[in-house]
Amino acid sequence: MAKITAAEVNKLRKATGAGMMDCKNALVEAEGDFDTAIDILRKKGQKVAAKRADRENSEGAAIAKVNADNTVGVAIILGCETDFVGKNENFIALANALAEKALHFDTKEEFLASDFDGITVSEKLIEQTGVIGEKLDITGFEKLEAPYVGSYVHINKIAALVGLSDKVDNVEVLAKDLAMQIASMGATTLSYKDFDPAYVASETEARIAVIEKDNIELARLGKTLKNVPKYISMSQLTPEVLAQAEEDIKAELKAEGKPEKIWDKILPGKIERFISDNTTLDKEQCLLNQEFIKDDKKSVNDYIKTYGDVKVVDFKRVALG
C-alpha cells in the first residue's frame, strides 16, 4: 500500500474541495496517483448527481459581475438544494468564481461547456455535487452588453443588471439605483409599448373579475367598493379613449355646477388621475412606469431624466425560488 502524506491529501483537497477523509481514501484507492484520485472523486460526484437528479435546486446564490470597463455584465444563480449550503462560504466563493468566468460567454450552454481548471464547468458542478452531497446546477444565466452596465445583488438571493445608453455624470449612482429598483420591484419589461395586446386584454379581464368578486364581499360588509377600471395599461389609452375621458370629466364638472371658465385648471389633474387609475399593470411590471423606490412621488422615468440624455437600453434579473 502506498504511503499517503498529509501534503498529498491537502493538495487533493485544494484541487477538488473534497473533505480530508474523502481525499485520503481516494489517494489510498489510487495507490497515491494524484490524477487517478481526482477521477475517483469525480466518479463519486457522478454517482451522487445521478441519485439526486430529480431534486429541486430551489436554494443557492445569485451573483452579478460586471467587467472592468462596465460594458458587459452577467447574472447567474448557482443552485443547490438547501439554504444551509447556499450560505456556505466555499459555495458562495465557487458561485463568484463561476460568475467571473461566465462574463466571457454569451449563453449558458457555452459557459457550461467551457474550461474550469482542466475540466468543463458542467463537470465541476458534478464534482462539487459529490463533495457537497447536494445537486448543484446553474439555474439562472443572463448576460447584458451596453455602453454602461451596472449591477446590484440583494443578499445573494436576487441579482440584477441594467444597461444604460451613455456614461453620464454620476452614472454609477444612477445604475446602482436602477439595478436596485429592478431587484426589489421585479419589473418584467421596460415599457408598456413592449406588451403583447393579447396579454393586456387577458390580464384586464382577469383583474376586473377579481375586483368585482372583492366588491361583492365588500358590499356584504357595508364597506367602500373598489374602483373597477376599464383599462390597466397606457397601451389601451388611445387618443379616442383619452378624448372620451375628457368629455366625461367635463360632463361631471358641469353636473357639479363648476364654472366652465375654471375647467382648464381642473382638467389636467383629473386626466392625470384617470391615467393613474387605468395603468395599474404598467406601474407593476414596466420599469419606467414604476414608482421610484427612493422617492414614490416620482416614476423611474422621471428619476432617469434628472441625469440628462440617458436611457435604459435593457435590464436583466435572476432570483431564487
Q: What is the 3-state secondary structure (H, E, C) of the chain?
A: CCCCCHHHHHHHHHHHCCCHHHHHHHHHHCCCCHHHHHHHHHHHHHHHHHHCCCCCCCEEEEEEEECCCCCEEEEEEEEECCHHHHCCHHHHHHHHHHHHHHCCCCCHHHHHCCEECCEEHHHHHHHHHHHHCCCCEEEEEEEEECCEEEEEEECCCEEEEEEECCCCCCHHHHHHHHHHHHHHHCCCECCHHHCCHHHHHHHHHHHHHHHHHHHHHHHHCCCCCCCCCCCCCHHHCCHHHHHHHHHHHHHHHHHCCCCHHHHHHHHHHHHHHHHHHCCHHHHHHEHHHCEECCEEEEEHHHHHHCCCCCCEEEEEEEECC
The domain locations on the chain are 6-51, 59-185, 193-305
Tell me what pLDDT residue 42 has.
74
- C-alpha distances out from residue 156 to 5, 147, 209, 259, Å: 38, 26, 37, 59
Residue with cell 393613474: 276
Tell me what pLDDT residue 17 has.
67
Question: What cell was used for 100?
Answer: 467571473
Tell me what pLDDT residue 132 has.
80
Q: Do residues 317 and 75 lie in contact, with contact meaning Cβ atoms separated by under 8 Å?
A: yes
Tell me what pLDDT residue 53 has.
64
Tell me what pLDDT residue 149 has.
98
pTM of the complete model:
0.78
Determine the residue type at 26: A
pLDDT digits (tens, 9 = 90+) for 294-312: 998 999 999 999 999 999 9
Residue 120 buriedness (CB in 10 A; 0-12 / 13-18 / 19+) = middle
Give the span between the Cα atoms of 158 and 315, in whole angstroms.
Answer: 13
Tell me what pLDDT residue 303 has.
96
Q: Which residues of the chain have a pLDDT value below 50?
A: none
Tell me what pLDDT residue 263 has.
92
Tell me what pLDDT residue 50 has.
65
Homologous superfamily of domain range 6-51: Ubiquitin-associated (UBA) domain (1.10.8.10)
Q: Which fold has domain 59-185?
A: Tetrahydropterin Synthase; Chain A (3.30.479)
